[in-house]
Amino acid sequence: MGSVKDLKIIKEATSENHGAGRFIYSDRYSVFDWGEMPDLITNKGTAIAILGSYFFEKLEQLGIFTHYTGLVEMDRAKKLADVKNPSNIMEIKLLRVVKPALSGNQYDYSMYKYEKGGFLIPLEVIYRNSLPPGSSVFKRLKNGEITPRDLGLNYMPEPNQKLSTPIYDVSTKLEITDRYLSWSEAREISGMTEKEIEEIKELTNTVNNLITEEFARIGLVNEDGKIEVGYDLNRSLMVVDVLGTLDECRFTCDGLPVSKEIARIFYRDTEWSRAIDEAKKKDRQNWKEICRVKPEPLPLKLKQSISQIYAGCTNEITGREWFKDIPPMNEILKEIKVQLGL
């Protein structure tokens, strides 16, 4: 399925019927679009499956359609309140994935103009409540790919900029290397109307507010995150994949990242990171094959601390001790600051 989770198909999706499947969340992780890294983060997959289930159930309470069926225990999909033991398996409804054809360096999205329902929208929608130092926005501004005006700003933002109004960004989802789009480009390739694009933005705003409120309860700031969406058989929006986890969002506590951004910080100034940048400049499609350096494993203590962050967040947000003997979040974060030299 991907670098961090696998998909077991129970029933194939068609244009007339939703399919059924199960996500098996692994302890793998990925940074910089590399794919599977050389380490495993203990309990990561289970923590994400549980936290993702929690947020899907919250959305359903708000009347928002999702592809979530339940968390799997004893080979049965159950709501979280009925689950007795931690599980890394989530049962979902499946949509068709209509992949754009690649010819040379160009993708053909013309088929989406004729699709009516029951498919994954080929976009990833990103909300930004602030612009932390690691935000891709700064690289895009520096490279001239966007201007402040494209972000709805009348000034050049600075690192740690808090935004009075969230920015809603959009990128491709089904290309070899995802690329950012303007909203007009997103509408064109997806075959959507202006009204449907606005509906996606409104949905993203609802998700953003929910995640922000939930994490504020445990003292974390929701800096940015992403959602993926599809259309059900009636062409109603459906939230898919997973949301509200430390892989989909970037959270901070007193300015310290509380997400897989911790691993990104460790790797950002490495020879491997610089080699990735060089490879992407040479070939946006095949950069991984020509990258001359491979990533080194994380230091053991840092890997253990990241594991505790995943487990601790899930415990505290859901209000259940799914994972035993996890130190308080403030203690874990103090240790991470020392390990990263911050």
d(CA 135, CA 252): 13
- Amino acid identity of 177? T
* pLDDT averaged over every residue in the chain: 93
Taking only the tens place, the pLDDT of each residue in 135-174 is: 889 989 999 999 998 888 889 999 888 998 999 999 999 9
Predicted confidence (pLDDT) at residue 340 exceeds the cutoff of 90: no
Taking only the tens place, the pLDDT of each residue in 75-106 is: 999 999 999 999 999 999 999 999 999 988 89
Taking only the tens place, the pLDDT of each residue in 49-68 is: 999 999 999 999 999 999 99
Give the range of the structural domain holding residue 74, as residue numbers without chain letter: 5-340
Number of H helices, E strands in the chain: 9, 14
- How many domains would you assign to the chain? 1
- CATH number assigned to the domain comprising residue 227: 3.30.470.20
Question: Rounded to 5 degrees, what are φ and ψ at 96?
Answer: -70, 145
Q: 3-state class of 212 per DSSP?
A: helix
Q: 3-state class of 334 per DSSP?
A: helix
pLDDT at 2: 67
Predicted confidence (pLDDT) at residue 1 exceeds the cutoff of 70: no
Taking only the tens place, the pLDDT of each residue in 223-278 is: 999 999 999 999 999 999 999 999 999 999 988 888 888 998 899 889 999 999 99
Q: How confident is the model at residue 284 (pLDDT cuts 50, 70, 90)?
A: confident
